[in-house]
Amino acid sequence: MSIFKGAAVAIITPFQENGEINYPKLAEILDDQIANHTDAIVICGTTGESSTLTHEEHLEAIRFTIEHVAGRVPVIAGTGSNCTETAIYLSTEAEKYGADALLIVTPYYNKATQKGLIAHYTAIAESVNLPIIMYNVPSRTGCNILPETAAHLVKNVKNIVGIKEASGNISQVAKLMRLTDGQIELYSGNDDQVVPILSLGGLGVISVLSNVAPRQTHDMVMKFLEGDVAGSREIQLKALPLVDALFCEVNPIPVKAAMNMLGWEAGPLRMPLTEMEPEHKEKLKKAMIDFGIEVK
């Protein structure tokens, strides 16, 4: 049984003006996501500004989310690190809190060889009983999980079951699906490649777009899985200008701005991220309106 099918939101972390996590606002956002058919919650991913959370904040955000969601949809905890021991610590704590699965990004900055990736993921997987989704995003980490490596891990480590593919390399994804005979839970990590990934056997997307368009992102996936490929493709193509605007500056700068435009009081970003440039904000606002999102 797969961890989820459909659209999981890579959810933002709302902050108060003093920089502390705004837990009441996070609760409101979680409830709204679930009400609008989001299929799973990913907490403390890149979009959640995990890299600037302390370990204590990181774990408290995970604990709070699991407790508040209360089993309504799966909660996937982002517990990756470029330090294997840190990733093990975060992962074991998330398991204690009741996470449904873990999202583990590749080591960043120090990176790793393919042998090192196998050792890193195996060590983390052996420390927990939870299913693990590997997160491949070489544009941010400088580290690419090759198809042969991902296939080896899925075939040899029982609780490494999936991959969030954000390499942007569709040929690489196709090779992975061939090497695993499709026996891997494949999720798109790029909102502009949801339909192409689904066509290769993907189960859904872990999405930035879902923060501002949860129902449409869910529908994009479910229409495809239910056989309405044309309907799914229509949503994908219509969403492209908005997806482009959501990534015209480094994520999560634009999506945080978008959530504030929607009245969510998502608060500021933590440095070194800074507020969105005015001309980019206007582009984002227009794209949201064109996609049918009511901006306050």
| DSSP states along 138-176 | HHHHS----HHHHHHHHHH-TTEEEEEE-S--HHHHHHH
Q: Which of 25, 89, 115, 135 is catalytic?
A: 135
Domain at 6-226: CATH code: 3.20.20.70
Mean pLDDT, the chain, rounded, equals 97
- 3-class SS string, 238-296: HHHHHHHHHCCCCCCHHHHHHHHHCCCCCCCCCCCCCCCCHHHHHHHHHHHHHCCCCCC
Whole-Å CA distances, 51 to 46, 66, 108, 141: 7, 20, 11, 12
pLDDT digits (tens, 9 = 90+) for 13-49: 999 999 999 999 999 999 999 999 999 999 999 999 9
Is the link from the previous residue into 252 a cis peptide, with omega within 30 of 0? yes
pLDDT digits (tens, 9 = 90+) for 79-127: 999 999 999 999 999 999 999 999 999 999 999 999 999 999 999 999 9
Q: Which of 164, 223, 256, 281 is catalytic?
A: 164
* Domains of the chain, residue spans: 6-226
pLDDT at 209 over 90: yes
Active site annotation includes 111: no
Active site annotation includes 135: yes
pLDDT digits (tens, 9 = 90+) for 134-185: 999 999 999 999 999 999 999 999 999 999 999 999 999 999 999 999 999 9
Unique residue bearing structure tokens 């044309």: 230
Distance of CA 81 to the CA centre of its chain: 15
How many residues are recorded in the chain? 296
